Structure 1
């Protein structure tokens, strides 16, 4: 099985495309697994001349999840007590840099989605030499005044752990409907297939809670992002209920020279109909890196 040691953490990864092509690293979001990057989306990226790497963040999927990371007290963390925070986004960024090290990749084009966008931003700030270009999708800067969720979408993040497979799958399908793209709805059978696959591969609600603690305990990146020199594109749905479009707008405003792509009808997912447009944005940004 393709596991590597990265920053002292065992991470599971998969690759797609010609290894001789420029590396493109995909970083997933809160509680999400590498299979949340749709296979067809990855194939389109590979067809554009990238060697695609996707992986499970710590505490998700087939990557390490350690009991000693404990159970975070989210209410206490919000109130300012960080004693139960197991790790920060900066640690997840170090994991990502460690993955590049383990794979022998000096630099990569980095694409992050939601929390993965936060990690990708932090990686670019902390390890700029590793990032050829940055694409931040449906993410935000850490400024709590932007990117606010609707009450319905916020409830999705706060739902309790499910007692069994059927409840977990049903909850995941319902959540996907709430945060998904109103202009590009995913068929019900596809939502069900994805939810079942994710549960069977690695259901880890405590890991998701620890990742959420990392998000809320990590500092605002706005000032640090002003120093980013990697070519950057920000992609966001105009109808995203989980991280509102103001999060993407703030990200693009913070990074000098960043392009902003706002897509009407897009929510907090990757609808099949939008894959070509998002792949185009990633590829065009990578070209900017080649002449940067």
Structure 2
């Protein structure tokens, strides 16, 4: 694989990207799949993950049963705005000392809600994974009228006593960032293999293709963007009290072995949200490969379908 990408190279999947410039000045890249009048599901990806992290199999499985699926690149990722602020250095990240100009998960939640406004969507079923789960929780807590149901995938509450990464993962997160596409793909494979879980080993072909796509459609400094996203999580602190105010029907899903968000994070989320449903998937780690896509999609559809009588959308 060459590490050279021509300046005029435009990946073919760019044709499906759309953009919304929000009042905050952030430009959000997004995609919409499904019928315009179908009930909307908003998918929010995790740390350093762009919208293509939600695989075609997962998205298609939701569209084919009658949903409109909206995916976005969070700020500091993919083709959305990369914030014009210095990233925190390694010591600040290790000791969780955000810079004064840090944005928070609440700012990222506001981006997602503003995208719903742009699309003229009143309420949506909101599904978030990892950091995206934290953003989804924040939306459900702060904008309850915009969330028909909440699904939080391998996420946590911000309480430092739960959901913490393994030391091995922390060391990997602070390793020198890749400088080219070959290094980026190699690092993606290394981290994904580390996090994938014992029941669903790495599919190297699938993950290589995904990593190349991610590299090709990243419009900013991915290392700086990831550092600012980590900082946003740290700046948001313990959100348990806020999470406890969530009233939307909630599904929490995580694996039984997770080396970046320990399963205790899912347990704490379930404990904080009254009447929530908590599913632990044996062998699942901190990854949603195609081998698990239909299983997780089935859980989401069953959860969303249980609220069919609730008016959503416009």
TM above 0.5: yes
Gaps of 5+ in 1: none
Cα 1:17/1:249, change in 2 over 3 Å: same
Counterpart mapping for 1:18-33 below 5 A: 18-33=35-50
Normalising by structure 1, we get a TM-score of 0.94
The equivalent residue for 1:109 is 125
Q: TM-score, normalised by structure 2?
A: 0.88
* Cα shift at 1:168: 1.7
Moved more, 109-118 or 149-158: 149-158
CA RMSD of aligned residues (A): 1.7
Equivalent residue for 1:159, pick from 175, 178, 199:
175
- CA drift of 1:83 comes to 3.5
Partner of 1:284: 302
Shift of 1:190: 1.6
Cross-structure match for 2:269: 251
Counterpart of 1:19 in 2: which secondary structure? coil
Moved more, 2-11 or 135-144: 2-11
Displacement of 1:62: 0.5
Verify the 8 A CA contact 2:256 2:263 in the aligned structure 1.
Answer: yes
Q: Report the counterpart of residue 238 of structure 1 in structure 2.
A: 256
Match of 2:203 among 187, 192, 209: 187
What is the SS of the residue equivalent to 2:132?
helix
Structure 2 residue corresponding to 1:17, chosen from 26, 34, 38: 34
Q: Which has the higher helix share?
A: 1
Unaligned runs of 5+ in 2: 1-16
- How far off is 1:125 after superposition? 0.7
| 1:201-212 alignment, distance < 5 Å | 201-202=217-218, 204-212=222-230
Determine which of 105, 108, 115 is the counterpart of 1:92.
108
- Find the counterpart in structure 1 of residue 243 from structure 2: 225
Count of matched residue positions in the alignment of Structure 1 and Structure 2: 291
Verify the 8 A CA contact 1:135 1:282 in the aligned structure 2: yes
